Chains A and B, each alone.
Chain A
Amino acid sequence: MARIGLERLRHTYQAKPAGDADWALKEIDIQLADGGAYALLGPSGCGKTTLLNIVSGLLRPTAGRVLFGDVDVTEKPPDERNIAQVFQFPVVYDTMTVYDNLAFPLRNRGVAEASVGARVREIAELLDLGPTLRTRASGLTADGKQKISLGRGLVRSDVNVIMLDEPLTVIDPHLKWRLRSKLKELHQRIGLTMVYVTHDQTEAMTFADQVVVMHEGAVVQAGTPVELFERPRHTFVGHFIGSPGMNVLPCEVADGVARFAGQPVRTANAVAGVKSGARTEIGVRPEFVRFAAAGIPVRVVRVSDAGRHQVVETRHEDAVIRLLVDERDQVPAGTAHVSFDTEFTRLYVDGWLAA
């Protein structure tokens, strides 16, 4: 069990990287606390799997260091780092029983057979694999196999961190939540550091205490799910998280006031000191947009039913503004006005939250 430090990590797969685009990881510098549940969230190609492989030792970073506690493990191979990894597709030893699968890492390390038995049964109990211990691993369903994968990591008592690389990919949709809850439960019971890589925000937000959002090889924001939701530091975060994502509206800044659609918009963060020529945008989540008697004029374009609320898509000229309306309320047709909740409306400069 250890704190994990990632110091100034940069990585490229090219032999001679030319520009920025050749670097899979631009510069990552974060600390993961001991026993935390982390999610690396981002779209395909953002570098999260690269980062995962660097932490687990399957990849050597082009620059930077990886520290487990105070030990520099950058040069160490995976089996010396005491990590466990669960892959996207279940990886089990088909010819062995579930019992032997779980016992395998212990036997390879020379653990006495008696302790092996006890430990295997304990972990199998935890993962609800008890009844299947004597069956061949190849006979289990996908979620069973993923549990075996996970179990092989948990049996070892010296594990520092468990890395999960999109583990729910092949699980049946109606079984996903079960496995997800199981992972959360495991984390709470065992308290191991877990790093969960995914592109699915629901998985990330429900599992993790801290979500690290990545985009194009850099960490855009790291924080609790609530922080990410209410105070996104980058328009990408706002956009990626939440369904539907944050409204991002181009605006002008003049004399310390942001203006959209010719009207002044009050924002939670300060507007002063914005460089001219920078791209300025207003970011406000649909949850914090309301129909009002006066405000920004819009045309109501579409209403979709999302269960407990309705998602209303409106347009002001070319800009799209979405808002949420309770399912019981009436949605005005044709034209209307919307207003923004100041506390959750922010100004973004070149994508980043203005200081």
Chain B
Amino acid sequence: MRRLKWLVPTLYIAFLMLPIYWLLCMSFKNTNEILGSLTLWPRNFTLENYQKIFTDPTWYRGYINSLIYVVINTVLSIAVALPAAYAFSRYRFMGDKHLFFWLLSNRMAPPAVFALPFFQLYSAVGLFDTHIAVALAHCLFNVPLAVWILEGFMSGVPKELDELAFIDGYSFPQFFRKFLLPAIASGIGVAAFFCFMFSWVELLLAKTLTSVDAKPIAATMTRTASTSGYELGLLAAAGALTIVPGAFVIYFVRNYIAKGFSLGRV
């Protein structure tokens, strides 16, 4: 039974790859072939979809814009979440329980109607159509998530570790950097990836708060899907390319996610 353990992730990944394979296939076909009949692999292999994306600024600018605000948001979210998570984990203070739940509640509203007020708010502070605007707006749901994840991992580290470090003469920032951060490495890895991911795929706010300068890739794709009547091959290629940055991120944080915490003096 134990021998077959590898079968579980293998079957699961095979299941995941099937539609992705389909997506890749579509990206190498032209629209006619896709809508024409079912073909298991591209009969007329074409790179025209990818060419379009790499050469047309409306397309590749979309990726760059998305990348910019997503990275800003991820860094920002994790940076403010770390001290807050420490506070929740190590201290009790007035209103802490309610504050924590309030943070979570910000992920609970169906977004549709909130778009307009967001538009008004960010226009009022003069941030409309900037990367910062989207990065800040996404903090609404990413910061609570980061705090939530990090708090849990921090609570898994015995408080005695803090006291030990202070007794040994380390200052708070030193303790944070040398002891705490390595101990919660897997939490940081997963929190960073999720912040990146949720910000990367968020459509409504990103579209609402931008028009030209900071237009995200997801917006460009919906345009294609609705107006020019389904350029499927192009959409597929664009979709395939959206996977790439995130794959890099998780590759980058993989060691953090898989890292164990070995009990022992650092």
Contact = CB atoms under 8 A, between A and B. Distances in A.
Q: Do chains A and B touch in the complex (CB under 8 A)?
A: yes
A89 B164 contact: no
B265 A89 contact: no
Given A87-B263, A88-B263, 5 more contacts: A49-B264, A89-B158, A89-B160, A169-B265, A170-B160
Contacts of A44: 265
Contacts of A89: 158, 160, 263
A142 B160 contact: yes
Interface in A1-51: 44, 49
A89 B163 CA distance: 13
**Interface residue SS majority, chain A:** loop
Contacts of B161: 170
Interface in B240-266: 263-265
Interface string A218-231: 00000000000000
Interface string A169-192: 110000000000000000000000
Given A87-B263, A88-B264, A89-B263, A169 B164 contact: yes
Contact of B164 (A49, A87, A170): A170
Interface residues of A, number: 8
A164 to B, nearest CB: 14
A49 B263 CA distance: 12
A80 to B, nearest CB: 19
Contacts of A142: 158, 160
Contacts of A49: 264
Q: Which 5 A-B pairs have the closest CB atoms?
A: A170-B160, A89-B263, A88-B263, A89-B158, A142-B160
A72 B235 CA distance: 67
Nearest to A166: B265
Interface string A66-100: 00000000000000000000011100000000000
Contacts of A169: 160, 164, 265
Interface string B148-169: 0000000000101100100000
A170 B159 CA distance: 9
B260 to A, nearest CB: 14
Contacts of B264: 49, 88
18 contacts: A44-B265, A49-B264, A87-B263, A88-B263, A88-B264, A88-B265, A89-B158, A89-B160, A89-B263, A142-B158, A142-B160, A169-B160, A169-B164, A169-B265, A170-B158, A170-B160, A170-B161, A170-B164
Interface string A269-285: 00000000000000000
Interface in A242-259: none
A142 B164 CA distance: 13
Contacts of A87: 263
Contacts of B160: 89, 142, 169-170
Interface in A122-149: 142
A87 B264 CA distance: 9
A44 B265 CA distance: 9
A342 B264 CA distance: 43
A239 B81 CA distance: 46
A169 B164 CA distance: 8
Nearest to A165: B264
A90 to B, nearest CB: 8
Nearest to B160: A170
A142 B159 CA distance: 10
A287 B164 CA distance: 32
A49 B158 CA distance: 21
Nearest to A171: B160
A170 B160 CA distance: 6
Nearest to A173: B167
A306 to B, nearest CB: 20
A49 B264 CA distance: 10
Interface in B136-195: 158, 160-161, 164
A87 B164 CA distance: 16
A280 to B, nearest CB: 36
A211 to B, nearest CB: 21
A13 to B, nearest CB: 13
Contacts of B158: 89, 142, 170
Interface in B204-233: none
Contacts of A88: 263-265
B195 to A, nearest CB: 30
B175 to A, nearest CB: 15
Nearest to B163: A170
A49 B265 CA distance: 11
A9 B170 CA distance: 37
A98 B56 CA distance: 67
B145 to A, nearest CB: 25
B89 to A, nearest CB: 16
A44 B164 CA distance: 16
A93 to B, nearest CB: 15
B105 to A, nearest CB: 28
